[in-house]
Amino acid sequence: MTKNAISDHLKQIHQKIRQACLKAQRPEESVSLVAVSKFHPIDSVKEALEAGQRLFGENRVQEAAEKFPLLRKDWPDLRLHIIGGLQTNKALEACRLADVIETLDRPALSEALDKAAQKLGRLPDLLIQVNTGDEPQKSGIARDDADQFIEASMKHFGPSIKGLMAIPPVHEPSGPHFRLLAEMARRHGLETVSMGMSADFEAAIAEGATMVRVGSAIFGTRPVKEPHQV
């Protein structure tokens, strides 16, 4: 990409977030932009940091570990979200690296995060991923089990549970999925609703997203084909 492209894209996204908030009669500060840098090189992340972006999302723990500890030295206020499905054997590393894990979705992972937190003496903030489309290939707690899992997780982790996250099915209108997730969060008194990507973040804001996860609209198309979902 040409020089300053990332900075320009960030400005455009912020402008669109501002407009979507205005339209929804919500304060602009009610929506945070998570810049999804998966598969993009560290220099692209630096460019975003230099443009003022501080909040980033990575899918894979391994990739996050290669990029972000280095960057934190120069940008101690950056925040990293793990947004990809998490294997239990990656829980320790994820707890070490992340400020937020957006993908708590099953009891076995709760246990693994517990153990990791005890070992490290720190636990990131947590979002519960809901598989609103009940897609077999996608991570996230099944829709029918979500209320119970959310309740149990809130009891278990207390205020570390901040909210919910979802990735609607690619080939369906996302509106109903956004509505369902926002309603579920409301029902449980949870404030954070992470939903909306490059193609639909404005619609997500209209439905109550407080975090949008935008990748390609900031960093360009991803350099390698993704091995899984989305």
Ligand X SMILES: *Cc1c(COP(=O)(O)O)cnc(C)c1O
60 forms part of the interface with ligand X (CB under 6 A): no
Q: Which residue of 40, 67, 138, 213 would you call a contact of ligand X, by CB under 6 A?
A: 213
Q: Are 55 and 79 in contact (CB under 8 A)?
A: yes
Supply the minimum distance, in Å, between the C-beta of residue 73 and ligand X. 26
Give least dist CB 158 to ligand X, A. Answer: 25
**How many CB atoms lie under 10 A from the CB of residue 15?**
10
The token pair that represents 76 in the structure block: 């101690």
Q: Which is nearer to ligand X, 158 or 227 (CB)?
A: 227
Q: Is 36 in the site for ligand X (CB under 6 A)?
A: yes
74-113 residues in contact with ligand X (CB under 6 A) are 83-84
* 3-state helix/strand/coil string of 145-182: HHHHHHHHHHHHHHHHEEEEECCCCCCCCCHHHHHHHH
Of the pair 156, 220, the CB lying nearest ligand X is at 220
Report the run of H or E that residue 34 belongs to, with start and end: strand 32-36
Q: Are residues 181 and 164 in contact, defined by beta-carbon separation less than 8 angstroms?
A: yes
Q: Taken in order 83, 29, 178, 13, is the CA torsion positive or negative?
A: negative
By CB under 6 A, residue 38 contacts ligand X: yes
Q: Which residue of 51, 143, 216, 220 would you call a contact of ligand X, by CB under 6 A?
A: 216
Residue whose CB is less far from ligand X, 59 or 174: 59
Site of interaction with ligand X (CB under 6 A): 36, 38, 59, 83-84, 167, 197-199, 213-217, 230
